[in-house]
């Protein structure tokens, strides 16, 4: 089974505190976007799980994606097969279109895609709620991808409430070679003394009532924490090219810019490519998975 599985951006992201177990509490609005990994899962009788990641030259110079047991897709497959009591094995091939260490949920999206495919291939017929429960054990962002679209996300990322459809918006997404690990990013947030906090509730309300104004509430507390020069440079280029808003997503280090004109978006993409940034034009989407065959 082959599917395309979408990336996400955080239209807004705030960190509200830290739990005794070390996990951080967040508030965010997640949005799936039309940048995809292609995930192929083939069921077999070997009892083994093999994961192979295919990177483009553009990604290979900046991103390290582990294979084998260290890949989150392996962990997802192992947990799913153990959960349903299957002794089957599978081969997983991931053709990367989502940059890593970008705050775009590429690994989580892949994990959700593997669980989704194995549920079909094994005829397990687990409902979405059960898939979400499995996904939570893999990573906090994984459950979101079983529904995708636009959602208010809170807690450690496990509390998901769907918001009105915000699909069809034009985005330019760009990333340099700099990256920051999630652990490093949260440590940096903890050190902030007077963070610039986005208003997540106002954004949620705007998406529901005045979506054309929602961009006014885009924001990310991690921008101050990460302080990456490439992020600042990309944001400047996007704003100069006509972006209504340009914001880092997740804990970094990709940036998305919201445009109302496709021609301007493509011109911005081309400028960023000339600066040797990964860059693409996409639309916000209302779901994460697209079946290929």
Instruction: Give me the active site residues, please.
Output: 8, 141
Residue 33, Cα to own-chain centre: how many angstroms?
A: 9
- Please enumerate, as own/partner, the contacts of 267-275 that have beta carbons within 8 Å and a separation of 24 or more: 267/241, 268/172, 268/237, 268/238, 268/241, 268/242, 268/243, 269/172, 269/174, 271/237, 271/241, 272/172, 272/174, 272/234, 272/237, 272/238, 275/233, 275/237
How many alpha carbons fall within 13 Å on the CB side of residue 134?
27
């Amino acid at each position: 089974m082959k599917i395309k599985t979408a990336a996400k951006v955080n239209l807004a992201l705030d960190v509200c505190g830290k739990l005794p177990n070390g996990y951080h509490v967040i508030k965010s609005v997640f949005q799936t976007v039309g940048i995809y990994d292609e995930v192929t899962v083939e069921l077999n009788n070997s009892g083994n799980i093999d994961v192979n990641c295919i990177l483009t030259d553009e990604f290979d110079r900046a991103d390290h994606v582990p294979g084998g047991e260290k890949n989150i897709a392996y962990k997802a497959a192992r947990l799913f097969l153990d959960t349903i009591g299957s002794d089957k094995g599978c081969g997983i091939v991931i053709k990367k279109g989502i940059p890593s260490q970008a705050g775009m949920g590429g690994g989580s999206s892949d994990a959700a895609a593997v669980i989704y495919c194995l549920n079909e291939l094994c005829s397990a017929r687990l409902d979405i709620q059960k898939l979400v429960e499995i996904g939570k054990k893999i990573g906090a962002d994984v459950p979101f991808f079983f529904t995708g679209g636009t959602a208010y996300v809170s807690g450690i990322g496990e509390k998901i409430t769907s918001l009105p459809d915000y699909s069809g918006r034009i985005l330019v997404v760009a990333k340099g070679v700099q990256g920051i690990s999630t652990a490093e990013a949260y440590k940096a947030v903890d050190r902030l003394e007077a963070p610039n906090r986005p208003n997540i509730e106002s954004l949620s309300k705007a998406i529901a009532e005045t979506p054309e104004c929602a961009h006014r509430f885009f924001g990310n507390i991690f921008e101050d924490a990460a302080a990456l020069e490439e992020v600042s440079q990309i944001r400047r280029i996007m704003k100069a090219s006509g972006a209504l808003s340009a914001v880092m997503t997740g804990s970094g280090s990709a940036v998305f810019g919201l445009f109302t004109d496709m021609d301007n978006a493509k011109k911005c993409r081309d400028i960023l490519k000339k600066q040797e940034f990964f860059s693409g034009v996409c639309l916000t989407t209302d779901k994460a998975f697209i079946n290929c065959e």
